[in-house]
């Protein structure tokens, strides 16, 4: 007897949630938060429009003021921010959806103009990234960071724990810890950015310590069934390098398996770019080390998603850019209908244009 292979449109049990399909909306920063970095009513409308996804993951949201690296990104650390997000999660749930919050600290990918008191951004080591951030409505070089003191690291872990509690208070179904794309937790992981000589630098075990402490704290706070993790083992995003990503991520995933987060979300290749930047990297070796849900992302269309699900190489597939331009992406994929084109000029900042005004199938443009 042959077993039917999984399809994108099959339901999936994720922790205590039943997802109606395997299609996930990837986290997408849109720089439209209201003053105070609060998610607005327009943001609630945007996510509710996309609620037919099996799971929505919110745009990255800073866990503390120092964790912000781009203008007008929402936070999850003040009462106003929690209230703003509560209106979003209510709207998504009313529309029949499910949503996780992506929790980030940008580390060195920031600018003094966004930091409390105009201070330097923080990082594992005082090494400036050769990249830009988005401040004052333009792309600007990131600032020189300062190295975090050893005595400050428990405060970072505590901020993630508090953010997890706030996430649940805001009505989210769970939290995705952002350890991808060259932000703080990724900076600690990689020997290109982490030159520390204490217990958080040097060996792979030491570089993975902060991430594992954060995951343990967040899981302790809200329960493993409500905690996911995002990684991007081979992306060059935000000028981050590592001498041996395979050994590093084999170790990270193996250790995470013991903590049992509900999913690991893996960006395959260069984020938003080629999938084959590191052809020798063995993603299957990571998957073999994790017994929970495996979510993949980067450059997927329906054919590629069908292929990886059929091959058992993923349980869930996240789509980023297609969800910006297609609020009804699930229906379009189901019907093999054409997709709306992405308007690159309205990705970061602005209002409803390019945010909540993309047409659904059968509606006028």
Q: Is 267 in the site for ligand FMN (CB under 6 A)?
A: yes
Interface mask (CB under 6 A) for ligand FMN, residues 57-86, using x and -? --xx--------------------------
Nearest CA-CA partner of 86 in 19, 173, 28 = 173
Q: Is 46 a catalytic residue?
A: no
CB atoms within 10 A of CB 345: 9
Distances (CA, A) of 60 to 33, 179, 278, 296: 12, 11, 26, 18
Distances (CA, A) of 229 to 57, 60, 91, 209, 226: 11, 12, 24, 15, 10
Catalytic residue among 47, 70, 160, 183: 183
Nearest CA-CA partner of 229 in 347, 51, 57 = 57
Choice from 32, 111, 161, 178 touching ligand FMN (CB under 6 A): 178
Nearest CA-CA partner of 238 in 158, 151, 178 = 178
Q: Is 84 exposed, middle or buried (0-12, 13-18, 19+ CB in 10 A)?
A: buried
Given a contact cutoff of 8 angstroms between Cβ atoms, the answer to whether 148 and 156 are in contact is yes
Choice from 12, 15, 23, 29 touching ligand FMN (CB under 6 A): 29
CB of 311 to ligand FMN, least distance (A): 19
* Residue 253 DSSP symbol: H
CB of 9 to ligand FMN, least distance (A): 18
Number of residues that bind ligand FMN (CB under 6 A): 23
Q: Is 298 in the site for ligand FMN (CB under 6 A)?
A: yes
Helix boundaries (H) for 170-262: 184-189, 204-207, 209-222, 245-259
Q: Is 270 in the site for ligand FMN (CB under 6 A)?
A: no
Residues 207-246 that bind ligand FMN (CB under 6 A): 230
Q: Is 52 in the site for ligand FMN (CB under 6 A)?
A: no
Q: Which range in 1-9, 86-94, 176-184, 280-288 contacts ligand FMN by CB under 6 A?
A: 176-184
Q: Which range in 147-155, 199-207, 245-253, 316-324 contacts ligand FMN by CB under 6 A?
A: 316-324
Q: Is 339 in the site for ligand FMN (CB under 6 A)?
A: no
Given a contact cutoff of 8 angstroms between Cβ atoms, the answer to whether 22 and 315 are in contact is yes
Catalytic residues: 183
Binding residues (CB under 6 A) for ligand FMN: these are 26-29, 59-60, 102, 178, 180-181, 230, 267, 271-272, 297-300, 319-322, 347
């Amino acid at each position: 007897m042959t077993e039917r292979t999984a399809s994108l449109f099959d339901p999936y049990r994720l922790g205590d949630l039943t997802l109606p399909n395997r299609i996930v909306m990837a986290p997408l920063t849109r720089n439209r938060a209201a003053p105070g970095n609060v998610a607005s009513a327009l943001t609630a409308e945007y996510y509710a429009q996309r609620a037919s996804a099996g799971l929505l993951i919110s745009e990255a949201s800073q866990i503390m003021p120092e964790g912000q690296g781009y203008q007008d990104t929402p936070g999850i650390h003040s009462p106003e921010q929690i209230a703003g997000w509560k209106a979003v999660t209510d709207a998504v749930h009313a529309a029949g959806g499910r949503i996780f919050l992506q929790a980030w600290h940008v580390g060195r990918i920031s600018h003094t103009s966004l930091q409390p008191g105009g201070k330097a951004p923080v990082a594992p080591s005082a090494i400036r990234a050769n990249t830009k951030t988005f401040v004052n409505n333009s792309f600007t070089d990131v600032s020189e960071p300062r190295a975090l003191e050893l005595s400050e690291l428990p405060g970072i872990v505590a901020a993630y724990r508090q953010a997890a509690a706030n996430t649940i208070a805001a009505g989210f179904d769970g939290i995705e810890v952002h350890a991808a794309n060259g932000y703080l937790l990724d900076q600690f992981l990689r020997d290109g950015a982490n030159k520390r000589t204490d217990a958080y630098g040097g060996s792979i075990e030491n570089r993975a310590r902060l991430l594992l402490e954060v995951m343990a704290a967040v899981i302790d706070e809200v329960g493993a069934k409500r905690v996911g993790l995002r990684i991007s083992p081979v992306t060059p995003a935000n000028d981050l390098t590592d001498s041996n990503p395979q050994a590093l991520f084999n170790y990270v995933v193996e250790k995470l398996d013991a903590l049992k987060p509900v999913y690991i979300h893996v960006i395959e290749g260069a984020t938003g770019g080629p999938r084959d930047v590191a052809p020798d990297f063995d993603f299957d070796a990571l998957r073999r080390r994790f017994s929970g849900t495996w979510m993949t992302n980067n450059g997927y269309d329906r054919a590629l998603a069908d292929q990886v699900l059929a091959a058992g190489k993923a349980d869930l597939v996240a789509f980023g850019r297609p969800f910006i331009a297609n609020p009804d992406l699930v229906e379009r994929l189901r019907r093999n209908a054409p997709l709306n084109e992405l308007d690159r000029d309205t990705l970061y900042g602005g209002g409803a244009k390019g945010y909540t005004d993309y047409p659904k199938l059968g509606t006028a443009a």
